[in-house]
Amino acid sequence: MAPVGKHLYIRSQIQLSQEDSIGSAAGTIAVSTPIPDVGIIKEISINIITAYDGAATILIRDDTGFSYVPNPAINPALPGIYTVSFKGNVDSMITNGSGQLEAVIGGAPTVGDATVFATYINP
């Protein structure tokens, strides 16, 4: 007799992480290899290793301009780790563009150093 009932299929998901240094130069810096289309970003952390001067701001976005970590969430003048978790929020999915994360450093910093750590799922 054949089994009766529902079958559960589990699709494996690979959770990946990337860490990249962004330095102190003002401008837009690519901070990861492209995340695959519809890759789901779970968490982004910015580790301010050396405080930034020059009224620096830091924004983490994708190449379409969607902001994952806005300026007010990060204080570049204060070393520490700043983390934003998305917990699978649909808005955290990269569905457009190349999937390239970018750090946009504003102001006029002459010193400062940070790393960006992105954790995502490749569905």
pLDDT at residue number 122:
74
pLDDT at residue number 64:
80
pTM for the full predicted model: 0.76
Q: What pLDDT tens digit does each residue of the chain (123 aa) get?
A: 444 444 343 344 555 667 778 888 888 888 777 777 777 788 888 999 999 998 999 988 888 887 877 777 889 999 999 988 876 555 556 555 677 888 889 999 999 999 988 888 776
Please give the domain boundaries of the chain with CATH numbers for all domains: 19-122 (2.60.120)
The beta-strand segments (E) located in the chain are 14-21, 27-30, 39-50, 57-62, 67-69, 80-85, 93-94, 101-106, 113-122
The residue to which tokens 């570049």 are assigned: 76
Tell me the C-alpha distance between 72 and 41, whole Å: 20
